[in-house]
Amino acid sequence: MSPSFDDSTISISRAATITTATAASKRRKLLLDHHMPMIPGLPDHIAQLCLSRVHPSILYSVCRSWRQFIYSATFPPFHSLYTLSTTTPTDSSGQNSTLQLSSFDPISSQWSVVTPTPYLRNVCLRHPSFIARNLPIQSVSVAGNLVLLAGTSSDLLPAFSHPIIFNPLTKKWSSGPPLLSPRRWCLAGTSRAAVFVASGIGSHYTQTVARSVEKWIFRETDSFDSKRKDSNCVWKNMRSLRDGRLCREVIDAVGCKGKLYTINMKGSCGKEGLVYDVNCDSWSEMPAGMLDGWRGPAAAMDEETIYMVDESEGVLKKYDEAMEVWINVLENDMLKGAEHIAAGGGRVCIVRSGGVGDFGGGCGLTSTTVVGFGFTGGTTSVGTSYSA
């Protein structure tokens, strides 16, 4: 026998439904009526203009609405740290290690892993032919983007036929124009919006590639996803090097005041230093005082001041162009064994071998090997940091 419901039961049910719906509507209206403005007495769009002038670390500690505003599209971008690193390998050869891009948010002091691009699968970091060393991946930061330029495939060929671009604001990957000569073990650097690669090795060593220099003017529209066709959005050959000796080491070219500064090898003996004038497309010898004191990784702060870590003495130095000397900034044992450095946003960040440290506070990376990093507008590495 099926159950029966009298009219009173149905009426009670309907009344309860109406009452519940009315209560929910009142709650929504109450929330709207009691919306807390970002700054009392000001419309939110005016408040946002005021708050955008405040350092994000101050806003983060005040309230939830201000924290949410920091990560909105209307808040000015701020520098974050990005590392291209490998996780701990599952075997002694290291061939099963995983390459990943990680981001350190200096405001929340938290690390997060960036969604990888399929192009990273082509990169080989360890190979039986190279014992006890990582195969390098070379990247630069330009116009707030991280650009991967050179690496090695498992067949010991260039891993990238074109630049791989990561935009920290959109968190999307794209591709740049094809390199004229894909390469590895090369010189890589930027000067303002121009990206440069030089020397290195292609599928095999040739004098032509070892002496060649390529330049690309970076634009946000430069990607294979863009339909814009511009004859300037390509790599162009520049004046060649006098010889191919730069391909002995993986070299970072430091861009400062319209010039690229580079040395041909690490260490303190047998170095040669070169300076490339971006505007004149010409190469010259590095000043003697600069070359003699260049004893570790270097980077430029906003392309105005070059900082360098003396990896043996553990001293951070900056270059005085007028006096042609390196000036000590600070000394710390944590700086000994420095391998990478990047500068931006008033801070110098350093990666050292055997662990990481941080003067500025708050960042650390464990169980990884850092193979590349750079400041971008939304980046750089892990390690010791110094506020300039």
CA separation for the pair 173, 158 (Å, rounded) = 19
Is 243 a member of any domain? yes
Are 128 and 161 in contact by the 8 Å Cβ rule? The answer is: no
What pLDDT shows up at residue 143?
87
The pLDDT of residue 178 is 96
Q: How far is CA 67 from CA 25, 52, 58, 60, 61, in A?
A: 28, 12, 10, 5, 8
Looking at residue 383, its pLDDT comes to 38
pLDDT value, residue 308: 95
**Whether 105 and 168 share a structural domain:** yes
Q: Could you give the percent of the chain with pLDDT greater than 70?
A: 73
* Two tokens, residue 19: 């009452």
Does residue 340 lie within any of the structural domains? yes
End-to-end CA distance of the chain: 85
- Looking at the fold, whether 275 and 329 belong to one and the same domain comes out as yes
Structural domains counted in the chain: 2
User: Span 364-376, mean pLDDT?
Assistant: 45
Task: Give the gyration radius of the chain's Cα atoms.
Answer: 27
pLDDT band at 192 (very low <50, low <70, confident <90, very high): confident
Tell me the DSSP string of 35-90. Answer: PPPSSTTS-HHHHHHHHTTS-HHHHHTT-HHHHHHHTSTTSPP--BEEEEEEEPPS
95 pLDDT above the threshold of 70 = no
Report the range of poorest mean pLDDT among 21-25, 260-264, 273-277.
Answer: 21-25
pLDDT of residue 36: 80
Residue 291 lies in a domain: yes
Pairing label, strands 251-256, 187-191: parallel
The verdict on residue 174 lying in a domain is yes
Range of weakest confidence among 22-36, 97-111, 206-220, 336-350: 22-36
In a domain, 5, yes or no: no
- Given strand 213-217, what is the order of strands in its sheet? 236-237, 213-217, 194-198, 187-191, 251-256, 259-263, 273-277, 282-285
End-of-domain residue from the set 25, 50, 70: 70
In this structure, are 92 and 230 located in the same domain? yes
Q: Work out the burial of residue 306: count CB atoms within 10 Å of its CB; fewer than 13 is exposed, 13-18 middle, 19 or more buried.
A: buried
Range of the domain at 22: 10-70
The reply to whether 198 and 275 lie within a common domain is: yes
Tokens describing residue 201: 């090795």
pLDDT at residue 27 is higher than 60: no
Q: What does the pLDDT read at residue 246?
A: 75
Q: Nearest to residue 319, comparing CAs of 339, 299, 341, 337?
A: 299
Nearest CA to 222 among 164, 168, 170, 183?
A: 164
Answer whether residue 147 is part of any domain: yes
The helix (run of H) or strand (run of E) holding residue 32 is: helix 7-33
Q: How confident is the model at residue 250 (pLDDT cuts 50, 70, 90)?
A: confident
Residues 254 and 192 in one domain: yes
Residue predicted with more confidence, 331 or 346: 331
Q: Which CATH number is 217's domain given?
A: 2.120.10.80
Taking the C-alpha atoms of residue 356 and residue 158, their distance in angstroms, rounded to an integer, is 30
- Asked if pLDDT for residue 385 goes beyond 80, the answer is no
Please tell me whether residues 164 and 297 are part of one structural domain. yes
Q: For residue 364, is pLDDT > 50?
A: no
Within this chain, do residues 50 and 186 fall inside the same structural domain, yes or no? Answer: no
* Dist CA 91 CA 80 (whole Å): 32
The DSSP output letter for 147 is E
Same domain, 48 and 112: no
Are 124 and 20 within one domain? no
HSE-CB of 132 using CA atoms within 13 angstroms: 0
Together in a domain, 40 and 123: no
Shared domain check, 104 and 229: yes
* CA distance linking residue 377 with residue 300, whole number of Å: 15
Residue type, 318: K
What is the reported pLDDT for 126? 74
**Domain match, 22 and 127 both:** no
The confidence score (pLDDT) of residue 185 equals 87
pLDDT digits (tens, 9 = 90+) for 108-157: 888 888 888 888 888 887 777 766 567 888 999 898 889 999 998 888 89
Give just the sign of the alpha carbon dihedral 377, 381, 383, 385.
Answer: negative
